[in-house]
A and B are shown apart, each in its own frame.
Chain A
Amino acid sequence: AQRVTQPEKLLSVFKGAPVELKCNYSYSGSPELFWYVQYSRQRLQLLLRHISRESIKGFTADLNKGETSFHLKKPFAQEEDSAMYYCALESATNKLIFGTGTLLAVQP
């Protein structure tokens, strides 16, 4: 079964601390994986996609096929990073399966 698992509902860190939001997936084949973010009172938007291998707002995510993981990392958290983060898997052409989301709270 195709599935995305985000084990943490809430991750609370202090400003300046490293952040790692966990995402594991179940998929047969080569996965297309994404991180979406929803800031307070804003719409959901794409943060980054694994195929781009880019860093957005200091965040990076590496696809580890051996561990079937796509964890989102940032070395130094900022208060403006506080948001809900969703990991997503493209299960079929233009169809996404979302994880349950992790709320990141960055304390001052």
Chain B
Amino acid sequence: NAGVTQTPKFRVLKTGQSMTLLCAQDMNHEYMYWYRQDPGMGLRLIHYSVGEGTTAKGEVPDGYNVSRLKKQNFLLGLESAAPSQTSVYFCASSYTTSGGTEQFFGPGTRLTVL
């Protein structure tokens, strides 16, 4: 199993450009998440999905859109990139368990917006 994969690994954008980050998981997990990681801020939830065809806003959703058309994929879109969106983006997936959630993370995408 590949677990959680993310494409691309690195990207540099100019202000105003758009792009889509792809997350894929092969563990048949219902839940998927997008986080951003910034120095001194920890991980902050952007959007999440509780199942195919569903999405919901997290803590910092502005400037991002998501789609979950297939259970295994969760896409994060930036319609008009801004320098404030320079960050490392992590995707994660999880399943429901009585012992509390374990989220499985992807390797991250480092995005720079100039």
Contacts and interface: CB of A to CB of B under 8 A. Distances in A.
A98 interface: yes
B27 interface: no
A43 B105 CA distance: 6
B12 to A, nearest CB: 20
Contact of B42 (A32, A43, A86, A95): A86
A99 to B, nearest CB: 6
Nearest to A41: B107
Given A99-B42, A100-B42, A46 B103 contact: yes
Contacts of A9: 40
| Size category, B interface | 20 to 34
Nearest to B94: A94
Nearest to A31: B100
Contacts of A32: 100-101
| Interface residue SS majority, chain A | mixed
B79 interface: no
A76 B99 CA distance: 28
Contacts of B99: 49, 51-52
A32 B97 CA distance: 12
Given A43-B107, A43-B108, A44-B90, A94 B101 contact: yes
Contacts of A99: 42
Contacts of A46: 102-103
A32, A44, A90, most chain B CB atoms within 10 A = A44
A96 B108 CA distance: 18
B99 to A, nearest CB: 5
B96 A95 contact: no
A23 to B, nearest CB: 12
Interface in B77-101: 90, 92, 94-96, 99-101
A100 B105 CA distance: 17
Interface of B: 4, 31, 35, 40-45, 48, 50, 90, 92, 94-96, 99-103, 105-108
In the complex, the 6 A-B pairs of residues with the closest C-beta atoms, listed nearest first = A32-B100, A100-B42, A98-B43, A44-B105, A94-B31, A43-B105
